[in-house]
Structure 1
Amino acid sequence: MTDANPPVPNRITTARPENKMNDVAAQPDPGASRAVLIGVTTYHSPELDALPSVGNNIRQLAALLTDRELWGLPKKHCRVLRNPSRSEALDTIHEAASLAEDAFVLYYAGHGLVSTQNELHLALSDASSERLYQALRYDEVRSPIIDACSARSKVVLLDCCFSGWAMQGHMSGSARTLLLADHTSINGTYVMTASAETKLALAPKDERYTAFTGALLDTLSRGVPGAPDLLDMDTVYREVRQELSAKGRPEPQQRARNSGHRIALVRNRRGPSKPASGHLAGELPEQGAAPGEGTQERNSPSGRAKSGGSSKDWWKQFVLWMVMTLAAALIALVLATSLVFLTAWWALETFAPVTGLPALGIAATIALLVGALGALLLSRS
């Protein structure tokens, strides 16, 4: 299906935010912050493909934001909405935005729709190009961030596209996604989107996450070598862009206002004061259900399981078990040999005309033969 709204000329480029000399990245207080993560995985309209990887996106992102090593956002402050209704999504956004004091994070992943007025809509399950009223107009989402949110830092992350360009295995995309960044007249705000104009935002079927969010999760979880101990959004963006570009995938776009690029949500696992070791938090030993969800699938696309220590422990336990088994077998062999010796000596003394030292020697010989046979059988086993 073709998009009823053809792509507009390239008016927006990847802009590097102004860096001020006194800009210093600071991590928001997790206790005074809120996050709303919205993912739409299923659509009732046949024109919109299902996006199962989006469910993995929101679970993993919630795991990272609530990881105490990275930010430590309380789970009750991280609302995860999977396939929400319009009223549920808008009510949750408004409530979280009004409660946030230090930072507010909004993430959406799913299809994007564009009206004839070139307004971006975030598609919910019941939405379609014929039912835009079932989608979230970006202005509806943006309004509570402007009007109800007094947080010093606002971060908006959009992994979306337009249904008119939908392709098998892709989330359609267009330049208008970037227009929302120009519409963002919020102080201390940062916006990152999955793709530039006329580019596709990928959701490969054979990968656990969508392309953009997968690179974002990888950067947040592993850290950036050589970067400071706090990862500001500009550093995160450049690492994500580099990873996607290296794979030949659409490059993300960013826009910041009033030092929004210096917002640092997570700590750098590979910063100067930390050793180079990182893993995806939800690949994490699977932390159970992510905040706001009841169940969680196995999550390990690009994480690295820390198996070295557990293998060493297993080997130590195996060696200990072998030593204990061998010791028990030797003790049993000695006891059995002793029993054979005493039994043979008693039998010779009682029933045979052999007594004294001859009986003792014969009994010892029999016991040694039995012991040697037992040792032979033990060595073969």
Structure 2
Amino acid sequence: MRISPPAGRYALLIAVGEYDDPSLNQLRAPEQDVERLAAVLEDPAVGNFTVRTQQDAADHEVRREIEDLLTDRADDDLVLLYFSCHGIVDPFHRLYFAAANTVRTRPASTAISRSFVNEQLEACRAAAKVLVLDCCFAGAFAEGFKGAPQGALEGQVGRGYVVISACDSYEYAFESDGLVESAPRGSIFTDVLLEGLATGGADLDGDGRVGVDELFRYVHDGVVRRRPDQKPKWSAYNAEPHIYLATVPAPAGRPGAPDGDGGGIAKAATGAAPRRTNYNRHQAIVARGFRAGADLVRRTFGPLGRRVLVEDAAGAYHELGDAASVVRQFTAYDTRDAIGANYVRELVEGVRHRVGDGATTTVVLAQAMMDGASAALRAGANPVALCRGIESGAQAVLTELADLAVPVETKEQLRMVATIASGDEVVGDLVATAMERVGKDGVVIVEESNLFGLELELTTGMRVPAGHVSPYFVTDPEGAEAMLDDPSILIVDQRLAAVPELRPFLDLAGREGRPLAIFARDVRDAALTALIVGKMEQDLGTVAVRLPWPDEERCGVMADLALLTGATVVLDADGGLAAATVQVLGGARKVITTRRDTTVVDGAGDADLNRRRIQGLRAELDQHVGDEERGMLRERLSRLSGGVAVIRVGESTEGQLKKRRRQIDDAVRNAKAAVEWGLVPGGGAALLTIADRIGARLSRSGDEALGYAVVIDALVAPYEELMRNAGRDPLAGPTDLCRRGPEVTFDVVSGAYVTALDAGIVDAAATLRQAVTAAAGMVCRYLMIG
């Protein structure tokens, strides 16, 4: 059973624009007002409220929601209640709030009375209670109140009961283009209120917070300037001056930017006229959930990162120190935070599976980009244009990373990146040894062992860039792999669609209890269904791999597979699968497939034939052939001669075994990525260098320039987070570091500037490429939430 979240900030926003009584004009403003206000209040960078909204409800439903909001509140809570609807006064000038079913001439029985709302607020235990009324005659609510502000120490959370009304007790509240008439825009009062909260304009004393008294002064002046005949009113009962409704959103341009920075979003937006916000409450919900998960992940970042306590779905706590473990266990208190937390989980798992490292860097970058994008939306930027700018900025970063990277040339460099990815020097050394022996085109896989410890074995095998055709073949959901031990191998150069031709081979697999791996031009329809059903219902170990390449390339791969496994390629010219017997089957010690590729380990083919094939291919390569043919020959040589390194892992418990396997898998992926893309200085130095180089290149104008700046401004975030977790000033040093040259980084452990490669503080360029790409893609997805 889930426990309740800790005491905090709660808001209920009530909007009624559709009325059954024809004497009450329909309103378009309330629905818009509530959605926009909810977005700002829920935004973790502004209000950080838990917000509920209610629209066009009957009077009894409204009263129930109000009671639910105000009952069982804690002593240190802040509650905010907002009405946007018709205000009705009876002949005795008593105020009622109209509900969807309100009869204008019978408000006492069909509307929400002022006395009910006031009694509920007075009975509520929350320290601070704020009522905001955007309706006609709203000032009548506080008749009899006496403003009695009391002193409070600076920085205290204020206490008291405050009412902010859109007008006085005898005035109308205006929508944007008329007197309580249908309008295409929100009300004047709420427009100004939103402007003060979202932009920070209501922070009149400049302390970075918006107090309720400041907000009223800002709203009063803004409304009166637009409508001199409407005067908002303020009433308070035992209220202190430090009831803070919001914090001022951080400036979009990052502080402490290196010299040469284009000034970020702030500079790109200079001179722009204020625009209506494009930030909506659904984006605020995602941003809040993302921050809930990201804040835990960020604390684990770097060599001096913290361990965090994470509560799982069952209410149990776990002490964790890496991003992957955190996102697997984390469960948000509020169900609305779940989707944002899932964004974090997808980022971490996706980056880990692709390059084995950089998950925390990705989350830090994504949080910084999301903050910048949210600020741009609040300033009125168009989300589609922002996405274009973000994509342009990410591409510029990738180009600079390629220029900054240096190739991996030594085993020691491999050991460095493998150790960083795994967090274990023994694993790093073993992975470096394995890759050194099989070469950059070789394959490294991890197997479980019955013996305790780590063991390295070299064997024959190959990897082809084609994976299983259906996720139903997966046997290891965590790794998204299908793993078959001692399978039969069937290689068919035709499209398999019918069941009868497959039946003899499926029957053989069932009788012998031996898995079956099929490589074919295509596998579909009934044939694919039969294989999936055989696995799911009959416990047959099956997997199908599609090789949909041009004839010459496909034939070469199939010939190499047949040579490795001892299989015979089944050809249409020989009668196809219908004429084949089980003698065409080959074998291997293991076949491992993912969505992208397939690895065959220790095939049953003739090793002498394999060596002669390699010699023949080298002889062909020496002949004068075209570039395309030479490329295909090189690929075949790599497949046949690369070999496979098998790292066997044995641990005393299942949990330790899984953890060790994940360490090695991450190290292998990261080392392979480093070989492919090279190395760059670590510790955030590479991204700082790139920000310094391209910060002034606003390749677009307007909102696209804001999107470009979102990416560039975010590049400093990993360095700052490393410094923060090491107990150092996060704003100190970026400019000085950039001036020392691209090969230098800052060692947060020793507190000294060092040459990155010599000190072993390096990142695989592919890791940062993936981090920037994934973070930018996630933020673009976030921007397109409507």
TM-score (norm 1): 0.61
Aligned mates of 2:138, 2:122 — CA distance in 1: 25
Q: Closer, same or farther in 2 for the Cα pair 1:274/1:181, shift >3 Å?
A: farther
Aligned mates of 2:147, 2:217 — CA distance in 1: 22
Tell me the equivalent position of 2:17: 41
Tell me the equivalent position of 1:208: 185
Counterpart selection for 1:179 from 143, 153, 167: 143
**How much has 1:103 moved relative to structure 2?**
1.1
Tell me the equivalent position of 2:381: 305
Q: Closer, same or farther in 2 for the Cα pair 1:40/1:126, shift >3 Å?
A: same
Tell me the equivalent position of 2:309: none
**How much has 1:317 moved relative to structure 2?**
8.3
Tell me the equivalent position of 1:118: 93
Q: Is the 8 A contact 1:37 1:81 kept in 2?
A: yes
Tell me the equivalent position of 1:264: 244
Q: Is the 8 A contact 1:203 1:209 kept in 2?
A: yes
Aligned mates of 1:285, 1:57 — CA distance in 2: 11
Corresponding letter in the other structure for 1:113: I
Aligned mates of 1:152, 1:95 — CA distance in 2: 17
Q: Is the 8 A contact 1:53 1:207 kept in 2?
A: yes
Tell me the equivalent position of 2:55: 82
Matched residue SS, 1:144: helix
Corresponding letter in the other structure for 2:170: T
Aligned mates of 2:16, 2:282 — CA distance in 1: 22
Tell me the equivalent position of 2:668: none
Q: Is the 8 A contact 1:65 1:71 kept in 2?
A: yes
Tell me the equivalent position of 1:229: 208
Q: Closer, same or farther in 2 for the Cα pair 1:285/1:259, shift >3 Å?
A: closer
Q: Closer, same or farther in 2 for the Cα pair 1:248/1:113, shift >3 Å?
A: closer
Q: Is the 8 A contact 2:59 2:100 kept in 1?
A: no
Q: Does 1:131 find its partner at 2:126?
A: no
Q: Closer, same or farther in 2 for the Cα pair 1:265/1:274, shift >3 Å?
A: farther
Q: Is the 8 A contact 1:219 1:240 kept in 2?
A: yes
Q: Does 1:142 find its partner at 2:106?
A: no
Aligned mates of 1:190, 1:111 — CA distance in 2: 21
Aligned mates of 1:95, 1:280 — CA distance in 2: 36
Counterpart selection for 1:218 from 175, 179, 195: 195
Tell me the equivalent position of 1:327: none
Tell me the equivalent position of 2:217: 238
Aligned mates of 2:120, 2:147 — CA distance in 1: 14
Q: Is the 8 A contact 1:70 1:268 kept in 2?
A: yes
**How much has 1:197 moved relative to structure 2?**
4.2
Aligned mates of 1:267, 1:259 — CA distance in 2: 20
Corresponding letter in the other structure for 2:93: N
Corresponding letter in the other structure for 2:278: E
Tell me the equivalent position of 2:30: 54
Q: Is the 8 A contact 2:142 2:163 kept in 1?
A: no
What stretches of structure 1 of length at least 5 have no aligned partner? 1-28, 162-172, 294-299, 321-338, 340-381
Aligned mates of 2:239, 2:7 — CA distance in 1: 22
- What do residues 163-207 of structure 1 show as CA deviations (whole Å, max 9, x unaligned)? xxxxxxxxxx4753552755999x701100001243321113555
Q: Is the 8 A contact 1:178 1:253 kept in 2?
A: no
Matched residue SS, 2:96: strand
Aligned mates of 1:62, 1:286 — CA distance in 2: 6
Q: Is the 8 A contact 2:78 2:127 kept in 1?
A: yes
TM-score (norm 2): 0.31
**How much has 1:260 moved relative to structure 2?**
4.3
More strand by share: 2
Aligned mates of 2:90, 2:193 — CA distance in 1: 28
Corresponding letter in the other structure for 1:58: V
Aligned mates of 1:301, 1:248 — CA distance in 2: 27
**How much has 1:218 moved relative to structure 2?**
1.0
Q: Closer, same or farther in 2 for the Cα pair 1:303/1:30, shift >3 Å?
A: farther
Q: Is the 8 A contact 1:34 1:100 kept in 2?
A: no
Aligned mates of 2:114, 2:209 — CA distance in 1: 30
Q: Closer, same or farther in 2 for the Cα pair 1:180/1:227, shift >3 Å?
A: farther
Considering only aligned residues, what root-mean-square deviation do their CA atoms show, in Å?
4.0
Matched residue SS, 1:154: strand
Counterpart selection for 1:190 from 152, 162, 165: 162
Matched residue SS, 2:282: coil
Q: Is the 8 A contact 2:28 2:184 kept in 1?
A: no
Q: Closer, same or farther in 2 for the Cα pair 1:315/1:80, shift >3 Å?
A: closer
- What do residues 100-146 of structure 1 show as CA deviations (whole Å, max 9, x unaligned)? 22111111111011122221000111213312111001111111211
Corresponding letter in the other structure for 2:192: A
Q: Is the 8 A contact 1:30 1:72 kept in 2?
A: no
Q: Does 1:152 find its partner at 2:127?
A: yes
Tell me the equivalent position of 1:330: none
Percent sequence identity is 21
**How much has 1:270 moved relative to structure 2?**
6.8
Instruction: Map residues 227-376 of structure 1 onto 2, 5 A cutoff.
Output: 227-249=206-228, 250-269=230-249, 283-284=278-279, 287=282, 303-305=379-381, 310=387, 312-313=389-390
Aligned mates of 1:240, 1:38 — CA distance in 2: 20
Q: Is the 8 A contact 2:14 2:54 kept in 1?
A: yes
Matched residue SS, 1:217: helix
Q: Is the 8 A contact 1:191 1:256 kept in 2?
A: yes
**How much has 1:83 moved relative to structure 2?**
1.2
